[in-house]
Copies of this chain bind each other. A is one copy, B any other.
Amino acid sequence: MIVALSGGVGGAKLVLGLSRILPPDELLVVCNTGDDFEHLGLSISPDLDTVMYTLAGLANPELGWGRRDETWSFMETTAMLGGETWFRLGDRDLAVHVERTRRLRLGESLTSVTLDLCRRLGVGPRVVPMSDDPVRTRLLTDHGWIDFQDYFVRQRCEPSVRALEFHGAAEARVQPEFLAALTNPALSAVVVCPSNPFISVEPILALPGVRAALAACPAPVVAVSPIIGGKAVKGPTAKIMTELGLNPSAESVAQRYGDLLDGYVVDLADTSEVQGIPAKVTLGQTFMRTLEDREAVARIVLSAAAKLRRRS
Residues of chain A touching chain B, judged by Cβ–Cβ distance below 8 Å, are 40-42, 70-71, 73-78, 80-84, 90-92, 94-96, 98-99, 101-102, 105, 116-117, 120-121
Which residues of chain B are near A94, meaning CB under 8 Å?
74, 77, 91, 94
Q: List 29 A-B contacts (CB under 8 A).
A: A40-B101, A40-B102, A41-B42, A41-B101, A71-B71, A71-B73, A71-B91, A73-B90, A73-B92, A74-B74, A74-B92, A75-B95, A76-B92, A77-B91, A77-B94, A77-B95, A78-B98, A80-B95, A80-B121, A81-B95, A81-B96, A81-B117, A81-B120, A82-B116, A83-B95, A83-B99, A83-B102, A84-B102, A91-B94
Which residues of chain B are near A83, meaning CB under 8 Å?
95, 98-99, 102
- Chain B nearest CB from A86 CB (Å) reads 13
Which residues of chain B are near A81, meaning CB under 8 Å?
95-96, 99, 117, 120-121
The oligomer's copy count stands at: 2
Which residues of chain B are near A101, meaning CB under 8 Å?
40-41
Chain B's closest residue to A70 (CB) is B73
Chain B's closest residue to A113 (CB) is B81
A41 and B116 CA atoms in complex are apart in Å by 20
- Chain B nearest CB from A105 CB (Å) reads 6
A94 and B75 CA atoms in complex are apart in Å by 10
Q: Report whether A82 and B120 are in contact in the complex, using a CB–CB cutoff of 8 Å.
A: yes
Q: Could you list 9 further interchain pairs (A-B, Cβ under 8 angstroms) beyond the known A81-B117, A81-B120?
A: A40-B101, A41-B102, A41-B105, A71-B91, A74-B74, A77-B95, A78-B98, A80-B121, A91-B91
